[in-house]
Chain A
Amino acid sequence: QSALTQPASVSGSPGQSITISCTGTSSDIGGYNYVSWYRQHPGKAPKLMIYAVTNRPSGLSNRFSGSKSGNTASLTISGLQAEDEADYYCSSYTSSRTWVFGGGTKLTVL
Chain B
Amino acid sequence: QITLKESGPTLVKPTQTLTLTCTFSGFSLTTSGVGVGWIRQPPGKPLEWLALIYWNADNRYSPSLKSRLTITKDSSKHQVVLTMTNMDPVDTATYYCAHSPYDILNGYYFDYWGQGTLVTVSS
Contact = CB atoms under 8 A, between A and B. Distances in A.
Interface residues of A, number: 28
Interface in A68-110: 89, 91, 93, 96-104
A56 to B, nearest CB: 12
Contacts of B114: 45
A32 B106 CA distance: 10
B62 A98 contact: yes
B46 A101 contact: yes
A91 B109 contact: yes
A104 B110 contact: no
Interface string B73-98: 00000000000000000000000100
A98 B71 CA distance: 14
Contacts of A57: 111
Nearest to A55: B106
Chain B contact residues (Cβ within 8 angstroms of A): what range? 20 to 34
A51 B11 CA distance: 34
A46 interface: yes
Interface string B21-54: 0000000000000000101000000111100100
A45 B107 contact: no
Contacts of B61: 98
A103 B63 contact: no
A52 B106 contact: yes
Contacts of A91: 47, 49, 109-110
Contacts of B46: 3, 89, 101-104
A45 B109 contact: no
Contacts of A1: 62-64
B3 to A, nearest CB: 11
A48 interface: yes
A45 B60 contact: no
Among B49, B61, B115, which residue has the most Cβ atoms of chain A within 10 A?
Answer: B49
